[in-house]
Amino acid sequence: PPLEQLYVHESVDSVIPKWAFVEAFDGLSIPVELVGDDREYEETDGVVSYVPRPEYLNAGWVHCARAGYDEFDTEAYAAAGVPLTNSSGIHGATVGEVAVGFMLSFARLLHVYRDHQGRREWYTPEYERPFTVEGETLCVVGLGTIGEGIARRADALGMDVVGVRRSDDPVPGVSDLFAPDELHDAIADARFVAIALPHTPVTDGMFAEDEFAAMREDAYLINVARGPIVDESALVSALKSGAVAGAGVDVFETEPLPETSPLWDFEEVIVTPHKGSATNRYHLDIAELVKENVVRYRDGDDLRNRVA
């Protein structure tokens, strides 16, 4: 049956302004309504939500407002025959810029100067410490939308970019591709290792003690994907022992990052509060994806970003 109604669950408000998001659907062929948890769904309903809810399995189609849909039970959607789509494909520039920002800061010491600025200090670092990202090697692990977004930008800055993915499809800006079982070879020579993987049973804890040991001691880890891909206590140990030089981290095992986390305290760790995708037009980017799928659903075409 055709879609008659699109519901926006209020949970989207944790990343985008819910009313601006609803307004972004002005002129859509079906009505759009903001809803909370007090609702049943039927086959003629589409739902956009940030969080999973069991009652969505009665809807006609569900769109996860995030790219990482790891909290949604894809098997249950497949079993119920309800298509689930996600918001992949729109984070190349947003998350890519954050990753590049981390690298530029570590190289040019912007974070260090800013810390000293808070104390009105005209700080001069050790001569050996600053460097340029130009000429340095970056290894991007996971080469989808975000990985490519990072790779293209790093390439434009004159970095040598290598990458890891399961398929061997070439990626613009990436000079050398490694398979997942070659991860240690791929990261061994890199000054920066950027994680842009989905969180899956396979990638859970993929970066732990052995990976930090395989990295250069002057290397920086960047995680803009999902917290549990990195064993956080192993990262803290590696930072303490000097197995790695620093980390730019946007995502954590527990969010918000607990006040007691040691990660807050390292000078060479930049903590950003899961804001890789945050821009003033994020709601429009997500609405574009959803609108495209409303049209595809109506026309009986394959939905874009179908993940179950």
Query: What positions carry a catalytic annotation?
Result: 226, 255, 274
Q: Where does this chain touch ligand NDP (CB under 6 A) — which range of 5-13, 18-26, 99-107, 273-281?
A: 273-281
Which of positions 7-66 make contact with ligand NDP (CB under 6 A)? none
Q: Which of 49, 85, 137, 277 binds ligand NDP (CB under 6 A)?
A: 277
- Per CB under 6 A, 197 contacts ligand NDP: yes
Of 32 and 225, nearer to ligand NDP (C-beta) is 225
- Per CB under 6 A, 283 contacts ligand NDP: no
The Cα 240–Cα 297 span in angstroms is 52
Q: Which of 19, 79, 114, 166 binds ligand NDP (CB under 6 A)?
A: 166
- Per CB under 6 A, 146 contacts ligand NDP: yes
- Per CB under 6 A, 247 contacts ligand NDP: no
Residue 273: Cβ within 10 Å count: 12
- Per CB under 6 A, 274 contacts ligand NDP: yes
Of 236 and 307, nearer to ligand NDP (C-beta) is 307
Distance of closest approach, residue 171 Cβ to ligand NDP, in angstroms: 9
Q: In what order do the strands lie in the sheet with 32-35?
A: 32-35, 5-9, 45-49, 61-64, 84-85
- Per CB under 6 A, 238 contacts ligand NDP: no
Q: Which of 21, 162, 276, 287 binds ligand NDP (CB under 6 A)?
A: 276
Of 240 and 281, nearer to ligand NDP (C-beta) is 281
Distance of closest approach, residue 76 Cβ to ligand NDP, in angstroms: 19
Of 160 and 285, nearer to ligand NDP (C-beta) is 285
- Per CB under 6 A, 165 contacts ligand NDP: yes
Binding mask 56-75 toward ligand NDP (x if CB under 6 A, else -) reads -----------xx-------
Distance of closest approach, residue 197 Cβ to ligand NDP, in angstroms: 5
3 state SS for the chain:
CCCCEEEEEHHHHHCCCHHHHHHCCCCCCCCEEEECCCCCCCCCEEEEECCCCHHHHHCCEEEECCCCCCCCCHHHHHHHCCCEECCCCCCHHHHHHHHHHHHHHHHHCHHHHHHHHCCCCCCCCCCCCCCCCCCCEEEEECCCHHHHHHHHHHHHCCCEEEEECCCCCCCCCCCEEECHHHHHHHHHCCCEEEECCCCCCCCCCCECHHHHHHCCCCCEEEECCCHHHECHHHHHHHHHHCCCCEEEECCCCCCCCCCCCHHHHCCCEEECCCCCCCCCCHHHHHHHHHHHHHHHHHHCCCCCCECC
Q: Which of 16, 138, 196, 257 binds ligand NDP (CB under 6 A)?
A: 196
What size, in residues, is the chain?
308
Contact residues toward ligand NDP (CB under 6 A) are 67-68, 88, 91, 95, 142-147, 164-167, 180, 196-199, 202-203, 224-226, 250-251, 274, 276-277
